[in-house]
Chain A
Amino acid sequence: MQTEGEYDLSTGAGLIACPRCDALHVERELEPGETARCVRCNTVLASPRAGAFTRIIALSFASLVLMVGAVFFPFLEISRMGFGNQTSLFGVALAFSHGALMPLTVAVLGMIVGLPVLRALLLVYTLLPLARNRRPFAHAVPAFRLSEALRPWSMAEIFVIGTAIALVKVAGLANISLGPAFWAFCGLILVNAASNVFTSATTIWDAIEDAGMATDGREIVPETRA
């Protein structure tokens, strides 16, 4: 175990490097609410928040429930001159299902439904034992790494803004009514935004390590728990 504030310049123990500019910092366990920033480029290094893990788990479950609603309820409805059409979220993805555009269906479904769901599940899997101060589940490390790698590709919020723009585009042509799925999706965006506020990757890596995935005896255990 590493004592706090001690470091070794030959092995790198007790040090943190900024991912953006490589500047070295001496590692310290932060109090909840504190934010550590890089001295050179001001990138946030860690920002633990009180009760963050429990909140992320709760928000992940909320986003799963909302996603079920978003997928199965009608999304948008349009009518003009007696002709009408309604579409669900699957209908939107299936718009590309003709011929050469087929792969785009899979990609769109993945970006707006698949990856947000997968990320929520991975976060719950990683954080559930950590929130109760237990040992993390097996493969929590690759699970959280995958969740972080998928972050830029989960594009639910971009899809909602896209919906708004598409609606403005057709508003003059026909009557549109918004289905429950649209509102579920809007809720999903708020839930995801809140979840992102509480997520600090460094803090979660630290917690995985502290909670018993002993790597090489270099983890700093806070004095209250040691």
Chain B
Amino acid sequence: MSVPSAEAPVLTAHRAGLVGCRSCGRVWPEAETTCNRCGSTLVPPDRRCLNAVWAWLAAGFVFYIPANLFPMLKTSTFGGLRGNSEATILGGVVELMHYGNYGVAAIVFLASIVVPIGKFIAISWLALVAGRPATVQAAHKRLRLYEVVEFIGRWSMIDVFIVAILSALVQLGFVASIHPGPAAVSFALSVAFTMLSAQSFDPRLIWRGLPLRSRKDHE
């Protein structure tokens, strides 16, 4: 809480032989296992958390595959006379572009293809380089990336909501009806698992590899 300066050497709780609570900020001796103030588990910033990160990420990836192979939406128009169509995620984007809805196509493409794949790459990279030495600039960049992944992860669920709204609303009997496909479930699970993966990642690991100039400072 002193004046911020990028160059000031920093003493971390871990270096001082203490452990900080990640949910309320209280500092405890390293031997403590639960925070006495907020009751959450105290975890030292080490690579153990990466096991959970990789496990959730793998689960998320496994469910992302059927999410792309199976249909997301089943549409039938004029009682099937104008055709029944089953659209996968990518198929839906192509269809939207075909009808000239470029804006919506771009949003769906972003939310259900670019963001999930980008998240898989970003979390894998963060987990791979975690704890490796980095410059201060690199550490700031990684933390920025982590914050983006954490923020944007839940927004992928928008696709599941769109499917739910469309299938609840477009029930016009003979004229047109839309039903959800099995991909909706696997997509929802994939998003949930990647959210858990991002939550398991301990951002304090990003800073572990930083060179330290002195043990005591800014006091």
Cβ B188 vs Cβ A17 within 8 A: no
Given A19-B20, A21-B206, A152-B154, are A101 and B182 also a contact pair (CB < 8 Å)? yes
Report which of B174, B176, B203 forms a contact with A20, defined as CB distance below 8 A. Answer: B203
Q: How far is the CA of A209 from the CA of B25 in the complex (A)?
A: 13
Cβ A83 vs Cβ B172 within 8 A: yes
> What residues of B have a CB within 8 angstroms of the CB of A174 in the complex?
170, 172, 176
Nearest CB of chain B from residue A172's CB, rounded to whole Å: 7
A residues 63-89 with Cβ under 8 Å of B?
Answer: 76, 78, 80-81, 83-85, 87
Cβ B172 vs Cβ A85 within 8 A: yes
> What is the interface residue range for chain A against chain B?
35 or more
Q: How far is the CA of A40 from the CA of B26 in the complex (A)?
A: 17
Q: How far is the CA of A20 from the CA of B3 in the complex (A)?
A: 18
Cβ B27 vs Cβ A17 within 8 A: yes
Task: Say yes or no for A132: interface residue by CB 8 A criterion.
Answer: no
Given A37-B4, A158-B157, A168-B101, are A19 and B162 also a contact pair (CB < 8 Å)? no
Contact digits for B99-135, partner A, Cβ 8 Å, 1 yes 0 no: 1010110011000000000000000000000000000
> What residues of B have a CB within 8 angstroms of the CB of A42 in the complex?
4
Report which of A16, A39, A141, A153 forms a contact with B4, defined as CB distance below 8 A. Answer: A39
Cβ B23 vs Cβ A85 within 8 A: no
Q: Which of A46, A104, A201, A218 has the most CB of B within 10 A?
A: A104
Task: Say yes or no for A134: interface residue by CB 8 A criterion.
Answer: no
Cβ B172 vs Cβ A216 within 8 A: no
Cβ B23 vs Cβ A201 within 8 A: yes
Nearest CB of chain A from residue B133's CB, rounded to whole Å: 15
Q: Which of A41, A76, A145 has the most CB of B within 10 A?
A: A41
Nearest CB of chain B from residue A85's CB, rounded to whole Å: 5
Cβ A93 vs Cβ B166 within 8 A: no
Report which of A22, A101, A162 forms a contact with B13, defined as CB distance below 8 A. Answer: A22
Given A41-B207, A87-B169, are A21 and B185 also a contact pair (CB < 8 Å)? no
Q: How far is the CA of A103 from the CA of B180 in the complex (A)?
A: 13
Contact digits for B171-197, partner A, Cβ 8 Å, 1 yes 0 no: 111111001101011001000000100
Main secondary structure of the interface of A (DSSP, over half): mixed
Report which of B24, B39, B96, B168 forms a contact with A91, defined as CB distance below 8 A. Answer: B168
Contact digits for A176-219, partner B, Cβ 8 Å, 1 yes 0 no: 10000000000000000000000001100100110000011010
Cβ A202 vs Cβ B25 within 8 A: yes
Cβ B185 vs Cβ A158 within 8 A: no
Cβ A92 vs Cβ B39 within 8 A: no
Task: Say yes or no for A138: interface residue by CB 8 A criterion.
Answer: no
Task: Say yes or no for B40: interface residue by CB 8 A criterion.
Answer: yes
Q: How far is the CA of A76 from the CA of B167 in the complex (A)?
A: 12
Report which of A10, A21, A81, A96 forms a contact with B175, defined as CB distance below 8 A. Answer: A81
Cβ B219 vs Cβ A26 within 8 A: yes
Given A22-B207, A37-B4, A42-B4, are A17 and B25 also a contact pair (CB < 8 Å)? yes
Contact digits for B6-45, partner A, Cβ 8 Å, 1 yes 0 no: 0010111110111111111111110000001111100001
In the complex, 11 of the A-B residue pairs with CB atoms within 8 angstroms, ordered by the A residue number, are: A9-B18, A22-B207, A76-B169, A95-B168, A104-B188, A107-B188, A158-B154, A165-B107, A166-B166, A170-B166, A209-B37
Across the A-B interface, give the 5 residue pairs with the lowest CB-CB distance, nearest first.
A17-B20, A12-B27, A162-B161, A95-B167, A17-B13
